[in-house]
Amino acid sequence: MISLRNLEKFYQQGPDRFYVLRRINLDIKPGEFVAVMGPSGAGKSTLLHVLGMHDTAWTGEYLFLDHPIHKMDRKQRLEVYKRHFGFVFQSYHLLDDLTVAENLDVPLSYRDIKKSERQAIVADVLDRFQIVGKKDLFPSQLSGGQQQLVGVARAIIANPKVILADEPTGNLHSSQGIEIMEMFKKLNEAGATIIMVTHSEVNASYAHRIVRIVDGWIEQQ
Amino acid sequence: MAGLREDVRGAFRRLAANPGSSAAAVLALAVGIGFSTSIYSVADALLFRPLPVPEIERVILIAGREEGAARGHRTIAATDYTDWKSSARSIETLAVSHGFSATLTGVGDPVQIQGAWVTASFFDVMRLQPLMGRVFTSEEETPGRNHSIVLSQILWERQFGSDPNIIGRTIEISGRKVTVCGVMPKGFTFPQPGMFWVPLALDDKAWADSGSFYLRAVGRLKPGATLDEARAEFRALAARIAKQRPDTHTRLSAHVDALREQISGDLTASFTRMTICFVLFLLFIACLNVANLQLAKVLARTREMAVRLAMGASRARLLRQTLAESVLTALIGAACGLLIAVWSLDLIKSNMPPEVERWLPGWSSMGLNGWVLFWTACTAVAAGLVSGIGPALWLSRTPVAANLHESGRSATGSAGRQRLRTILVVTETALALVLLVGASLTVKGFRAIGQLPVSIDPARVLTFRVDLPLTHYTSKSMIVQFQRDLIERLRATPGVVSVGLLSSLPYGSSGNNYSLVTIEGRPAERGPQNITQVQVTGGDLFRTIGVPLVSGSMFTGAEGADTQSVAMVNQTFVRKYFDGQDPVGRRFHLGDGKWKTITGVTGDIVQDFTERSVGPVIYQPYQQSTQGAFDVAIYTAVEPLSLVAAIRQAVYSIDPQQPLSLIRSFRKLIDHSILGIAHAASMFAVVGLVALFLAVLGVYSLMAWSVTERTREIGVRLALGATREEIRWMVLRRGGTIAALSLGLGILGSFGIARLMQGLLFGVSATDPVTFMVMPAVLVCVLTAACLLPAQRATRTDPIAALRHE
């Protein structure tokens, strides 16, 4: 599903290059649950944003479902991302001035879906995540766990094939973290490919395999 | 469309969530858009739709003009009308008119009213249907059959109480009985201040007269014909006529203008256009201010934008979303601005005296109409886009990954944003200085125009106009007798110090007479260089209005038709025709061969305030050059207006049917004549002050934001041993840099606008050192004040709290 070949990312600092990712070769199959681990500053989140096409300044090859992402322009990449990817953040990043239901509607509003259809999808997801009662609340009125639950619901609402998660339980206490990881497990069992950056060995144990990154290099798969 | 609706809803919500900054942005734009709306209303009424005439853009004025003269419009001869009418192909209809003043009697007190003789085709050119009755037929152009009159709506309303049975009623105009055949619709007052129209009935001899220039031509272009085509055609026609009639038309060309462009006069048009420019400048400053405020909020919104991008939003969508917010802000600002527009229009209209208003077609219909609101809405959308495009582009380029990073630091490009904000503030401050200098120059120019070089206080002089009807005053001796009696009776009135008569007082609205002058001993030459203004005077005019006698003597009062013809001249006349040598005793004539001996020289006084320099003037005694229409000036020992009743009584005792018009002090007469410039100068001053306020607000906001952003840095500096004074100077230095950049750019721009205004606006001097020193000094003072508060706040930073800031 995902294939990276000799992918590199660096920052130019005067005459020198500071590499964040070095010669990354990585293959991820459909339905896999992959944990990316490594020390702080190793390049884990950078790799995740490259996979999510938020970061476009890199070299090498990136194939997604055999489509050469590295040859696509910004618009084409955005289309691929909108059709196939969802993103979960450590700090939830819900939009403060929107209600839970409106936050869930945001990804759909960028996908040319009719309003009535969007309302039905939002209602369905609220129901699936058992947060119907909170649909009119604002993020500030939710606990951290509830916010992340909404964050996960928002990531999957457009029915993505791949969910990218950047330390999804990093700001939660353990019981809330378990709840979120169980949710990821269910989503993975339902067919979603999940790539998760984490520092937690417990969370990593939910994954099928662990990719470790140190100083921008993949150390061990 | 649904997406746009959501963007607008979201924009409403975000504006409501930040009431403070939203209100500041709305207020800034409301001021800019409000003033724009009011000046659009003025321009719409005075320049674009001054008369309720269908397709007014096709109506043209055709006048004579001396060959080579850049300005000036001459009246035309009757033969010009007949020649043009038979030859011109670019026009559909042509008409001529001749304005005159008349006395309306039999309806309450006698009143002086202004109207015009017009050809029947006049109403065809205007394509106006009367409100009631009919307009003239061509038969009524025949002498002896011209007994009809068409009234303006305003005359019908004021003098006849909107009498519904007015049609067919016989009224008396200057002793002549005429029958009302029609009433024109509201707002139609052309040629200004047209209150009535009577048929122009000339006999064959008058139609064949090519030497009397007294008619004004107006025509309607054929559909598809352009103004340039008409100009070329009339120039060619005039050249042909000049060859056919060398005695009367040598060096005479024709000039064509759009009625809409000329009806309010050159000055009104140029001042209105310049005011529009000023107000749009102000609006631009307001936009920069709002952009500045929005850039300050960028930090708070970069994360939101990064999340939206991560959710699949395109950058174009984010751009649209952010612009929706700024356009919405501007539209709310426009709604609030309408209040400012209504208020300022009320203020402008309430300060316009009727004596001046009647010369401004369209003034009475000035207000917020559909067109003005349409342009206001367009302005608001444009202001929203201008103010929002910078922040919107900035936000839409938010780097996603960096701003979603969990390190807690946002990649907001703080240094770049600071640079951009500094550029915006420097630009708006420089523009504010440009507007301040422009406003100051206009105000100073206006004050200079209003100061006549006279030795008396114009507020102590009472003036009024007398227009003796030629139907009653059928001989020169009757007019002279009236004037002699008037001077004597007014002199005898208690409270009167001195009395003078003049064809037209300086700055008065009555037209001036000009004539060719031939100095004894020199060849008679035709041409503009020998044209001089001719005034008829009586009583102690020069003493009354404070004009000094430079040499020779005043008229004695004993002059008469059978005594030696005498005249006085002004200093410019002496400089122009006698190289500055004493002309007393020298002689000249005015083309009629009747020599007049110069008895005295008076000081110069500007007759028409639009003249850039004083022209040569000849003064003749009323006993030797009779004119039935004249101004009267009375120097009083008491409050001038307290004498009005006594003066009316003095006039009525001579002729109970004779009305007085334009009764006011000389000061008021001067003020009324330059009221348009006063309005423009006031508007410029207000715009300049508001621009200064917005600039100060911008600088304050930038400095306050800068201090907040540098809280940690200030804490570190304090922790490392910096004194509070050093911190204050650090902040003030930055303010000083902004002020220096603004001053540099602003002064350069000010020189540019001063030169531009000097060329376009009367009375403005581009080289006024005081303005160029005082205005930058004012700016420096207010900018220093704007920087002091943030600087003071910076010195109170607690280093421990500041180091915890991040």
One-character DSSP codes across B7-58: HHHHHHHHHHH-HHHHHHHHHHHHHHHHHHHHHHHHHIIIII-SS--TTGGG
Residue-wise pLDDT tens digits, A39-98: 988 889 889 989 988 888 899 999 999 999 999 988 888 889 889 999 888 888 888 878
Contact B400 A49 (CB under 8 A): yes
Beta bridge partners of residue A163, listed in sequence order = A86, A194
Mean pLDDT of chain A: 89
Q: What is the largest CA-CA distance in chain B?
A: 108
| Window from B48-52, B367-371, B446-450 with minimum mean pLDDT | B446-450
Q: Do the bridges between strand B59-66 and strand A217-220 make them parallel or antiparallel, or are there none, so unpaired?
A: unpaired
Cα(B133)–Cα(B373) distance, rounded to whole angstroms?
35
DSSP assignment of B454-480 equals -SS-GGGEEEEEEE--TTT--SHHHHH
Do residue B636 and residue B686 come from a single domain?
Answer: no
More confident residue, A215 or B717: A215
Low-confidence winner among B220-224, B296-300, B413-417, B722-726 (lowest mean pLDDT) = B413-417
Indicate if B599 and B701 belong to the same structural domain.
no
Q: Give dist(CA A77, CA B82) in Å, integer.
A: 77
User: Does the structure's ipTM exceed the value 0.85?
Assistant: no
Of A145-159, B112-126, B328-342, B411-425, where does mean pLDDT reach its minimum?
B411-425
Cβ distance of A54 and B303 shorter than 8 Å: no
Q: Chain A contacts of B308, Cβ < 8 Å?
A: 95, 106, 110
Query: Measured between alpha carbons, how far is B633 from B665 in angstroms, rounded to an integer?
Result: 9
Mean pLDDT of B570-578: 92
In this prediction, residue A213 carries a pLDDT of 93
Instruction: Indicate if the alpha-carbon torsion angle B23, B29, B32, B37 is positive or negative.
Output: negative
| Three-class DSSP category at B181 | strand
Query: Minimal Cα distance from A82: which residue of B?
Result: B312
**In B, which residues are within 8 Å of A54 by CB distance?**
309-310, 400-401, 404
For domain A2-220, which CATH number applies: 3.10.290.10, 3.30.505.10, 3.50.30.30, 3.40.50.300? 3.40.50.300
Interface of A with B in 87-116 (CB under 8 A): 87, 89-91, 93-98, 106-107, 109-111, 114-115
Whether B725 is covered by a domain: the verdict is yes
Minimum Cα–Cα distance from A152: chain B residue: B311
Which residue type, as a one-letter code, is found at position A49?
H
State whether B406 and A49 contact (CB < 8 Å): no
How far is residue B683's CA from residue B689's CA, in Å, rounded to a whole number? 10
Does B800 have pLDDT greater than 80?
Answer: no
Chain A residues with CB inside 8 Å of B410's CB? none
Q: With contact defined as beta carbons under 8 Å apart, do B60 and B219 qualify? A: yes
Q: Tokens 């900035």, residue?
A: B394
CA pair distance B143, B150, nearest whole angstrom: 17
Query: Burial level of B316, CB count in 10 A (0-12/13-18/19+)?
Result: exposed
pLDDT recorded at residue B410: 43
Contact B640, B589 (CB under 8 A): no
CB contact under 8 A, B314 and A75: yes
Look at residue B361 in the predicted model and tell me its pLDDT: 80
Residue contact B308–A46, C-beta within 8 A: no
CB spacing of A115 vs B17 below 8 angstroms: no
With tokens 């004579």, the residue in question is B64
Helix (H) or strand (E) run with residue A166 in it: strand A162-166
The one-letter amino acid code at A205 reads: S
- State the residue for tokens 């020189």: B751
* B454 neighbors B667 (Cβ within 8 angstroms): no
- Least CB-CB distance to B303: which of A45, A93, A166? A93
Question: Which residue type occupies B524?
Answer: A
CB contact under 8 A, A95 and B312: no
pLDDT, averaged across chain B = 86
Provide Rg for chain A, Cα atoms.
18
Q: What is the pLDDT of residue A14?
A: 81
Separation of CA B378 from chain center: 25
Name the residue in chain B with its Cα closest to that of A93: B307
The domain spans of chain A are: 2-220
C-alpha torsion angle, residues A109, A115, A120, A125 (rounded to 10)? 10
Query: What is the per-residue pLDDT for B412?
Result: 45
In a domain, B552, yes or no: yes
Per the domain annotation, does B356 fall within a domain?
yes
CB contact under 8 A, B400 and A54: yes
Q: Nearest by CB to B304, from A95, A111, A154: name it.
A: A95
- Per the model's pLDDT, the better-predicted residue between B803 and B577 turns out to be B577
Q: Is A115 in Cβ contact with B401 (below 8 Å)?
A: no
Provide the percentage of residues in chain B whose pLDDT is more than 90: 38
Cβ within 8 Å, pair A106-B311: yes
Average pLDDT over residues B8-23: 84
- Mark out chain B residues that contact chain A at CB-CB < 8 A: 2-3, 6, 10, 13-14, 17, 303-304, 306-314, 317, 400-401, 404-406
- What is the torsional sign of CA B339, B343, B344, B348? positive
Same domain? B101 vs B12: no
Which residues, numbered 177 to 216 in chain A, qualify as contacts with chain B under a Cβ-Cβ cut-off of 8 Å?
A: none
DSSP 3-state of A12: strand
Q: Do A97 and B13 touch (CB under 8 A)?
A: yes
Domain count, chain B: 3
Q: How far is A78 from chain B (nearest CA, A)?
A: 7
Strands (E), B106-208: 111-118, 132-133, 148-151, 170-173, 176-183, 196-199
pLDDT at B84: 93
Closest in A93, A98, A110 to B404, CB measured: A93
CA distance B6 to chain A (A): 9
pLDDT at B745 exceeding the cut of 90: yes
According to DSSP, the β-strands at A162-166 and A85-88 are parallel
Of B168, B83, B184, the C-alpha closest to B129 is B184
Helix then strand count (H, E) for chain A reads 7, 10
- Residue matched to tokens 């749009």: B280
State the pLDDT confidence band at B328, using cuts at 50, 70 and 90.
very high
- Of B657, B691, B709, the residue that ends a domain is B657
Indicate the residue of A96, A111, A114 with minimum beta-carbon distance to B312: A111
pLDDT at position B511 is 67
Q: Domain for residue B94, yes or no?
A: yes
Q: Are residues B484 and B595 in the same domain?
A: yes
Closest CA to B520 of B428, B590, B452, B446: B590
Domain encompassing residue B28: 2-46+266-450+682-803
User: Which residues make beta-bridge pairs with B94?
Assistant: B219
A156 to chain B: closest CA residue: B311
Examine the domain organization and report whether B530 and B612 are in the same domain: yes
**pLDDT the model gives residue B803:** 62
| Listed residues B263, B282, B312: the one ending a domain | B263
Please name which of A17, A11, A166 lies closest in space to residue B401, comparing C-alpha atoms: A166
Chain A residues inside the 8 Å CB shell of B397 = none
DSSP letter, residue B615: P
Residues B651 and B528 in one domain: yes
Q: Which residues of B touch A75 (CB under 8 A)?
A: 314
Whether B190 and B298 map to the same domain: the answer is no
Chain B residue with CA closest to A55: the answer is: B401
Instruction: Specify the residue for token string 């321009």.
Output: B43
What single letter denotes the amino acid at residue A146?
Q
User: Which of the residue ranges B331-335, B562-566, B679-683 would you say has the lowest mean pLDDT?
Assistant: B679-683
pLDDT band at B127 (very low <50, low <70, confident <90, very high): very high
Residues B88 and B236 in one domain: yes
3-state secondary structure of A159: coil
Instruction: Give A174's pLDDT tier (boundaries 50, 70, 90).
Output: confident
Residues contacting residue B235 through CB under 8 Å, at least 6 positions apart:
B253, B254
> Shortest CA distance to B432 belongs to which of B281, B301, B581, B563?
B281
| B422 lies in the same domain as B492 | no
Cβ-Cβ contacts under 8 Å between A and B: the total is 65
Q: Looking at B26-138, which runs of residues are DSSP E strands?
A: 59-66, 76-77, 91-105, 111-118, 132-133
Q: CA B761 → CA B183, B542, B618, distances in Å?
A: 38, 31, 29
Closest Cα in chain A to B18: A97
Q: What is the pLDDT of residue A198?
A: 92
- Rounded CA gap, A48 and B246, in Å? 94
Residue B464 lies in a domain: no
A75 and chain B: CB distance < 8 Å anywhere?
Answer: yes
Q: What are B657-707's pLDDT values in tens digits? A: 888 888 999 999 988 888 878 888 888 888 899 899 888 888 888 888 888
